[in-house]
Amino acid sequence: MRSVRRLTTTIAAALVACAGLAGAAGTAAAASPSPSASAGAGADTAPTEAGTSFRTATPIRMDQRATAGASTGDYLYWVLPVDAGARATVKAKVTLPPPSARHGATTWQLDVYDGLRRRQACRYGAQTKSAAKDAASVELSCSLRTVRGWAEQWANDPLPGSYYIRLTVVDLSQEDLGQPVHAEVEASASDAGGAQAVDGKLSAPLVPGATSATPKPSGSAAAQQPAASDAPDGGWSSGWWSDRWIWTAVGGVLAALAGIGGYRLTRGSGRPAYLPPGA
């Protein structure tokens, strides 16, 4: 019984130590500066214009509100970096002309494309929304799937790299084409954690104009690619780290303790169970 008590005390102490290790790691991760909290991102001036194509998309960063004045019917493009393990949400707001200047309802759409220009599906959010003739504005949102560090060639999984945001009107009266509107776009991201991690990573993030080491001629169209949506603050992780490492280590410690405990419980006291008389 004494050995059982010692074993119980040892396992309890180990469990407390493992819990403290996991808690300390989580606290350290929470205390580390996020891309949105870095001084560099906060010091950047938010863009006040949008591109009109993939090649001229305006670079933005997470938690940065970008604005642009445009005409109804224009295609507005922004581009931002999204790293592995992130669940990004893009929100857009369009301030419409006065109701007296409009001739009917309008329908707006928010699309998100990855670095390969594949349109990404939204897990939830109002990606397409109609605004009545008397509406002052329309708001749209798109929450993407978790960005994976690596995927099979046949899969359409979102991968780390540049993500293009496109905002445009898809249905309106012909008389309303060209009327001035004001657009606002903002993107945010949360960490999905180790539950969404995969064993693999890309050799390079999908950033057009930055994945090739071959220099481009200064006058070429490729050289005019905008800033390749600079890497996130802190660089690209490429999915090599996740909290699965912590729980794998904790599981290994617990398995070792269970093996030691099983051995101590089954080996006995070391003395024979029966002693003959006079022994």
**Could you tell me the residue ranges of all domains in the chain?**
1-32+240-270, 46-239
What local confidence, expressed as pLDDT, does residue 222 receive? 40
Q: Which residues contact 47 (CB under 8 A, 6 or more apart)?
A: 58, 59, 60, 64, 66, 67, 68, 78
The larger pLDDT score, comparing residue 110 to residue 207, is at 110
What local confidence, expressed as pLDDT, does residue 196 receive? 59
Flag whether pLDDT at 104 surpasses 80: yes
Highest mean pLDDT among 8-12, 34-38, 258-262: 258-262
Q: Which residues contact 119 (CB under 8 A, 6 or more apart)?
A: 111, 112, 113
Tell me which of 6-20, 119-133, 244-258 is least confident: 6-20
Q: DSSP letters of 216-260?
A: PPTTSTGGGS-TT--PPTT---TT---THHHHHHHHHHHHHHHHH
Segment 11-51, tens digit of pLDDT: 555 554 554 544 444 444 434 333 333 333 344 688 999 99
Q: In the predicted model, what is the mean pLDDT of residues 124-142?
A: 94
What local confidence, expressed as pLDDT, does residue 213 receive? 36
Q: In the predicted model, what is the mean pLDDT of residues 258-274?
A: 72
Of 41, 40, 58, give the one whose Cα is nearest residue 49: 58
Q: Can you tell me the distance from the alpha carbon of 72 to that of 87, in angstroms, rounded to the nearest whole number?
A: 30
In the structure, what pLDDT confidence band is assigned to residue 193 with cuts at 50, 70 and 90?
A: low
CATH architecture of 46-239: Sandwich (2.60)
pTM: predicted TM-score of the whole model, two decimal places: 0.66
Question: How many Cα atoms are found within 13 Å in the side-chain-facing hemisphere of 156?
Answer: 8
* % of residues, the chain, pLDDT over 90: 44
Segment 201-235, tens digit of pLDDT: 676 788 886 644 334 444 444 444 444 447 776 66
Helices (H), 32-176: 39-43
The larger pLDDT score, comparing residue 19 to residue 256, is at 256
| Measured CA distances, 79 to 9, 125, 158 (Å) | 56, 19, 15
The average confidence (pLDDT) of the chain is: 76
Segment 144-156, tens digit of pLDDT: 999 888 877 778 8
Segment 64-95, tens digit of pLDDT: 999 999 999 999 999 999 988 889 999 999 99
Contact (CB, 8 A) for 104 and 169: no
User: Structure tokens of 237?
Assistant: 């992780």
